[in-house]
Amino acid sequence: MCGILAVFGCVDNSQSKRSRIIELSRRLRHRGPDWSGLHCHENCYLAHQRLAIVDPASGDQPLYNEDKTVVVTVNGEIYNHKKLREKLKSHQFRTGSDCEVIAPLYEEYGEEFVDMLDGMFSFVLLDTHDKSFIAARDAIGITPLYMGWGLDGSVWFASEMKAISDDCERFISFPPGHIYSSKQGGLRRWYNPPWFSEDIPSTPYDPLALREAFEKAVIKRLMTDVPFGVLLSGGLDSSLVAAVASRHLAESEAACQWGSQLHTFCIGLKGSPDLKAAREVADYLGTRHHEFYFTVQEGIDALEEVIYHIETYDVTTIRASTPMFLMSRKIKSLGVKMVISGEGSDEIFGGYLYFHKAPNKEEFHQETCRKIKSLHLYDCLRANKSTSAWGVEARVPFLDKEFINLAMNIDPEWKMIRPDLGRIEKWILRNAFDDEQKPYLPKHILYRQKEQFSDGVGYSWIDGLKDHADKQVTDSMLSHASFIYPENTPTTKEAYYYRTIFERFFPKNPARSTVPGGPSIACSTAKAVEWDAAWSKNLDPSGRAALGVHEAAYEEAAVEAKNATTLLQSCSSPKLIFPYVKDLAAESWVDEDSEFTTEVGDKRDGCS
């Protein structure tokens, strides 16, 4: 990922203004530590911080057309750039950069060329002939972009809020799938897929078509001139990404430079569900697996830095971003600059556990549409900014335009969770890759229950965050929250704690307005909370809040913990009762070499 900053219409275009633009662009250098560039045309500035992934030697930005009258600063990857170059044979290219096609496409097709791009991107383009400019963001919002307005009438764009928040009177999160045109004077949506209207599709389920579309999405994301790998949690989505990438890596251009053995990465608390499952998948696929550990305290110590980088106070996003942030630092230390990840599948296929309660296929489909439309505020934001904080790029094949269009056109009856028919969440995806002749994954991994990343790294991670927040926020502070934070008022001590950190970094009203709010259960939208009356009493974004669905739901775990404690207190040989004690939500009771132990947080106490 790169960092972009563009400013148009400044009243002051002195050397001091240029210095200020350089200073603000430097706030994005973590996104692009490889090179910096700045183009100034009268009172217009386009700055760039580069992370070199494709053509590291000559692809520095800003990029230009042949006579340098069209200037572009881009953050992203254009996967179909070679095909697009075939349409632009009358143009001469200076570099091998995938993003260099943008300027000539604008010259040939005008502002309507954006839908021709297959990739993830945010860009700003200046036409110096008339000083007009456009800005655009990819279909789903995989790459971040913000837009702001200065008191002097200037218009600003930046990859992250921190680059414009001090100098703009107002700023917003640039909506995904949109283009801003100075000529037309406003935003308009360029991405208009059939599913956007939320009408119910009726196309029959074709497992082979779904499989082929996803394999194609993964293969195109192997485009790289630098070392890369796959983020592997051991869950269905990341395991499928790893399986497909591993299967097709040898035939890719990347294998010629970096070898045909895929590197995979996982992080968790010791003993966490993800670490165990990821190791098993890595062994099955034969990847070069890298396993990282962190403690609850290390995660807590990183919270302020995490919130500064991801620019949100959303509870779920912070919970999941922290281990991803820590892992990205480890990955970068190994010399890896690009990773492929599994975000987006749960939104497309209704993989979150609360979808078990969807009353009918109509509401199921409409909820998936709502989830995809808001991805840029949650999982896309997390995946991009947590990795970009350390100069690592994350690619997400589930959010491929072609794949989304195919998957969202399937009759949602096939996505419904139907225990009576043996269909668990994301059954149509699991079934598509259930190949008896040439298995992609072991069966029990292919049909593993959904774990949200913040849960899968270790259940005591979330419990530790809550405990820490309880010590930082008093009952009195929380009771007055509506007076201190009238917008998106925090309702828990954990949410209050994150909000105080966020406000220190981003104190302006427009900043807090970029973060969504509203009730949620296990990552649902506010609308889906209505599916079960009991959920309104247990609002928590963790998957374990889906009572009666998750195998380690809070309520069930609390009961089991109480029963287990009673048994232990009255039993002289705990080993005898082990078969009757279910996994608990902390780090679970485990039987290791016939020695019965319990782990809570990072402390382990033996019992004999």
Distances (CA, A) of 291 to 57, 275, 278, 428: 32, 7, 9, 30
Nearest to 76 by CA among 339, 343, 395, 360: 395
Give the count of beta carbons closer than 10 Å to the beta carbon of residue 368.
25
Identify whether the C-beta of residue 156 lies closer than 8 Å to the C-beta of residue 171: yes
State residue 595's pLDDT score. 32
Identify whether the C-beta of residue 296 lies closer than 8 Å to the C-beta of residue 602: yes
| Cα angle: 356, vertex 362, 363; to 5 degrees | 50
Nearest to 64 by CA among 96, 27, 93, 35: 93
State residue 527's pLDDT score. 79
Identify whether the C-beta of residue 508 lies closer than 8 Å to the C-beta of residue 341: no
For the beta sheet containing 589-592, the strands, ordered from the edge strand earlier in sequence to the opposite edge, are: 589-592, 595-600, 603-606
Mean pLDDT of the chain: 88
State residue 458's pLDDT score. 64
State residue 12's pLDDT score. 86
268-282, 445-459, 569-583: least confident range? 569-583
**For range 542-559, the mean pLDDT:** 52
Torsion 574-579-581-582 (CA) sign: positive
State residue 597's pLDDT score. 33
CA atoms within 13 A on the CB side of 13: 13
Q: Which band of pLDDT confidence, cut at 50, 70 and 90, is reported for residue 1?
A: confident
Structure tokens at 128: 């110096």
Report the alpha-carbon distance of residue 437 to residue 426 in Å, rounded: 22
State residue 547's pLDDT score. 53
**For range 172-188, the mean pLDDT:** 96
125-134, 269-278, 371-380: least confident range? 269-278
Q: Could you check whether the bond before residue 62 is cis, i.e. omega within 30 degrees of 0?
A: yes
Q: Could you tell me the end-to-end alpha-carbon distance of the chain, in angstroms, rounded to an integer? A: 52
**For range 477-505, the mean pLDDT:** 97
Determine the 3-state secondary structure of 341 from DSSP.
coil
**For range 351-365, the mean pLDDT:** 94
Identify whether the C-beta of residue 311 lies closer than 8 Å to the C-beta of residue 145: no
Give the count of beta carbons closer than 10 Å to the beta carbon of residue 49.
28
State residue 450's pLDDT score. 65
State residue 556's pLDDT score. 47
Residues 6+ apart with CB under 8 A from 548: none
Q: Which band of pLDDT confidence, cut at 50, 70 and 90, is reported for residue 459?
A: confident
- Which residues are annotated as catalytic? 2
Q: What is the DSSP letter of 414?
A: G
**For range 456-465, the mean pLDDT:** 82
Higher pLDDT, 521 or 561: 521
